[in-house]
Structure 1
Amino acid sequence: MFVYIPSAPPLLEPSGVDYSAYKEVLEAEPSEWIPDSFTTVCMQCSAPFTALTRGRHHCRFCGGIFCRACSKGRCLLPVKFRERNPQRVCDYCYDRLDPLQGVLINTISNAAQVAKHDVMDWACTRFWLNLPVGLSMEHEIYKASNILKSYCQVARWNTERSIPLAVLKGAKSLAILTVVKAGVLVAYKVGTGLVIARRSDGTWSAPSALLSVGLGWGAQIGGELMDFIIVLHDSKAVKTFCSRMHFSLGAGCSAAAGPVGRAVEADLRAGDSGSGMCYTYSCSKGAFVGVSLEGNIVATRMDTNLRFYGDPYLTTADIGTVDGPKAAEPLYAALGNLHSSLRC
């Protein structure tokens, strides 16, 4: 008989934390929320609630009712709450939970879980088509792994169309995105993905989620779904991608007819952390042809990173230096397979 064992087991002896001092918090049961009718004022600052300027918010830990100003914190909750995303808590509960966040991040956060969606073959529906917008980091990791697997197949079938091994070896960072593009003369683009950096020891960092929106103008018509691998070869380009938002401007030509097409692009990217040149390799599906001037805005999805890592203090620069999380193992395996296929 199959017995399900949760991947986030109860905390018994958390290292670096005085368990006896925080036992009450760590073993707390989910609280019963107080009904909205219980109070007409904030239970902390006593300010009266209003429909537009001061609404009611329940603390997810104690269940009390507070105004927005008194419940701004986001924390991971103890194991018995069965929540892996950071939750809104009141200021008092935030002070109680904050010392335990390091332990909870390493045990119950989404990043600390084993990847559940790790099958990438013809029997899986999502294998056939990468959706342009991923709603979670787990989805972005799956898409990126699927894209890298596709490039492994390209490298085996036609080495001239694959990413050169020297280019991949020299990469300081990789951005992997799926973007949908459609229009006549003016083409609109939107998509999501992730960026990872190569650490000083040669391993890959934890991923950071990205959102890309843009416009293209030129002699073009149709629609296509494009999988991008953007290779960043210098520290300036890496810093640009690690900024909260950056812009890109470039020219390219693309053609797609049926299931597979190809696009070649080179662009200049600039953001609040500098500027740098990037080279893009892509495969596309659809019916599209054109030559155009492209402009894009790429932003870090801070909310997606927060839900995945559970750490409100984690910046994009930090993500580029920390160890890869357990949930991203399919991505690192796909990167290793791509290296191996290019050597053959």
Structure 2
Amino acid sequence: MVMFLFSKNQASHIFEAETKGYPPINFEEGSLDVVNECSNEMTMIKETGEDMYRKFPLHEQTGIWVPASVPPMTKHDHEEWQKGFGYNKGCFEEEYNWDIDDENWEMTMWDVLADMFVAGKEKILSVASYDFGRHGMSLVSQFFLEEALKDKSQTVQDTYVGSEHTLLETEPAKWLPDSAASSCMLCGACFHPIICSRHHCRFCGGIFCGGCSKGRSLLPPKFMTSDPQRVCDVCGVRLECIQPCLMNQLSRACQLPTQDLTDLSTLRSWLNFPWATTMEYEIYKAANSIYGYCKVGELKPEKSIPDSILRQAKGLAIITEVKVGLMVTYKIGTGLVVARRADGSWSPPSAISTCGLGYGAQAGGELADYIIVLRNTEAIKTFSGNAHLSVGAGISASAGHLGRAAEADFRAGDGGYAACYTYSCSKGAFMGCAFNGSIVSTRNSINDQFYGGPIKASEILLGSLTKPPAAATLYKALSMLFDKIEK
């Protein structure tokens, strides 16, 4: 939870401003059930030396109280803040005596370029003449502010424990128009079309800068969305206590799959596209690749993965990749990773992407579905990192609808290093023997969108998360593949 810090003189001046006849703010009944508990707590004025806390209400149209924030700062920083802070229809315009006619003033392209030039100039001057004393104090102030925010956030969470039901029943708030605020309602930064853009909080409807609304949270059921939405820092703290409940009820991972047919009756099963934008399609591609591999293994057993290697597999990475070139080949694709646990069950999937180059005696183009066998736990840890490099050499050949590629590669990254075996079924016209290198990275944004919140790949693959219902098609294909080997 964040709040304003004022000196005693400034605070007394603001208290006097409140008595000059400003109209009271009328909130709608029933819209502040949850917020009242927090606002009552924040109304208390705490004096410590020269600092004091003070709350300010949001615009009448939101119906929700949002505190503003000014961190501890030096005298010079405070003067700069005063120059840039303004609150429409509030008590600050009179204090700072702004001579701007909001009705007639309009930002031009020259104003935009001038602001960008001034911002760049200040950055260059600050780097050229670095004030260690001033910036050192700023770092110390920032540290104490972060510690205070952590304590405050914990207090707010404890306050909202008994109000989870009220939060779950919250209805969508009316968004403020862009003209309602010329500066961020939390930090007071003036909006700029390039330097500081406007963002609406999807929960309270207020207007904030990117730094004060960088969080993503699942919203209550009445908002009718299953994807995490942008919210301000205050609403992010408010919604944190109900995120586990929403992840189990509304996230994409908890929904049953609708595209579960992989036979020739559906056009999408004929060809896997190399780039997917959702986890649902990654799951479908992986299941389709496994079924296709099983069909090839039945027709030509010599092209199947040896049973001894599959029995020892601790996990699988399934990627659809397109490769094209002459001598130098370029490749790109996406896929997912699943880990096999000690009891034989499978972990939830984690999305990955790959891009790379190859060099050698090769020519053509092909679309291939790769199955990478993760032989040990170290290989799973390698794929659970943010990114890793794959280096290997192999032979690839495809003509027409079916092809075969076998490759042994070495992988190393921030998650560790390991050796893996790669098998594939490919389509196209391609032949060659080459040295290949590629970078495989975890698609954290796809994972967050699917599971409903920030989650690491290591928690997905090596943690104790339950199998998501949305991946039922994938687990069915994996069961068919490994049950056949065991029998």
> What TM-score does the superposition give when structure 2 sets the normalisation length?
0.65
1:177-192 equivalence runs, <5 A: 177-192=319-334
Preserved CA contact (<8 Å) 1:183 1:223: yes
2:468 corresponds to 1:325: yes
Preserved CA contact (<8 Å) 1:155 1:342: no
Query: CA offset at residue 325 of structure 1?
Result: 0.6
AA at the equivalent of 1:317? S
Give the alignment partner of residue 110 of structure 1, picking from 240, 245, 252: 252
Bigger relative contact order (CA 8 A; separation at least 6): 1
Q: Which has the larger radius of gyration?
A: 2
SS of aligned partner of 1:37: helix
AA at the equivalent of 2:322? V
Preserved CA contact (<8 Å) 2:396 2:406: yes
**Once the two structures are superposed, what CA deviation does each residue of 1:189-208 show, in whole Å capped at 9, x if it has no partner?**
00000001111221000000
Query: CA offset at residue 217 of structure 1?
Result: 0.5
Cα distance in 2 for partners of 1:129, 1:323 equals: 30
Cα distance in 2 for partners of 1:232, 1:276 equals: 9
Where is the helix percentage greater, Structure 1 or Structure 2? Answer: 2
Preserved CA contact (<8 Å) 2:164 2:241: no
Cα distance in 1 for partners of 2:425, 2:452 equals: 33
**Once the two structures are superposed, what CA deviation does each residue of 1:249-304 show, in whole Å capped at 9, x if it has no partner?**
11011111111111111100000122110001101000111111000000000000
2:169 corresponds to 1:23: no
Give the alignment partner of residue 345 of structure 2, picking from 198, 203, 206: 203
Preserved CA contact (<8 Å) 1:191 1:213: yes
Cα distance in 1 for partners of 2:447, 2:364 equals: 33
Partner in structure 2 of residue 335 of structure 1: 478
Cα distance in 1 for partners of 2:407, 2:447 equals: 28
**Once the two structures are superposed, what CA deviation does each residue of 1:147-205 show, in whole Å capped at 9, x if it has no partner?**
11112212322322212222112111100000000011110000000001111221000
Give the alignment partner of residue 316 of structure 1, picking from 434, 457, 471: 457
Partner in structure 2 of residue 6 of structure 1: none
SS of aligned partner of 1:95: helix
1:129-208 equivalence runs, <5 A: 129-208=271-350
Cα distance in 2 for partners of 1:182, 1:110 equals: 34
Query: CA offset at residue 73 of structure 1?
Result: 1.1
Preserved CA contact (<8 Å) 1:58 1:66: yes
Cα distance in 2 for partners of 1:162, 1:28 equals: 54
Where is the strand percentage greater, Structure 1 or Structure 2? Answer: 1
SS of aligned partner of 1:69: coil
Identity of aligned residues (%): 52
Preserved CA contact (<8 Å) 1:261 1:283: yes
Count of residue pairs brought into register by the alignment: 326
2:204 corresponds to 1:62: yes
AA at the equivalent of 1:183? G
Preserved CA contact (<8 Å) 2:311 2:485: no
Give the direction of change, closer, same or farther, for the CA distance of 1:193–1:58 in structure 2 (3 Å limit): same
Partner in structure 2 of residue 48 of structure 1: 190
Cα distance in 1 for partners of 2:297, 2:430 equals: 24
RMSD: 1.3
1:256-271 equivalence runs, <5 A: 256-271=398-413
The structure 1 segments of at least 4 consecutive aligned residues displaced by more than 6 Å after TM superposition are none
Query: CA offset at residue 84 of structure 1?
Result: 0.8
**Once the two structures are superposed, what CA deviation does each residue of 1:281-337 show, in whole Å capped at 9, x if it has no partner?**
10100011111100000000000000000121x111100122211100110000011
Query: CA offset at residue 343 of structure 1?
Result: 4.9
Query: CA offset at residue 20 of structure 1?
Result: 5.8
1:3-18 equivalence runs, <5 A: none
Partner in structure 2 of residue 227 of structure 1: 369
Structure 2: runs of 5 or more not aligned = 1-159
SS of aligned partner of 1:106: helix
AA at the equivalent of 2:205? G
SS of aligned partner of 2:378: helix
Preserved CA contact (<8 Å) 2:218 2:452: yes
Query: Larger deviation: 18-27 or 63-72?
Result: 18-27
> What TM-score does the superposition give when structure 1 sets the normalisation length?
0.92
Query: CA offset at residue 81 of structure 1?
Result: 0.9
Cα distance in 2 for partners of 1:58, 1:200 equals: 46
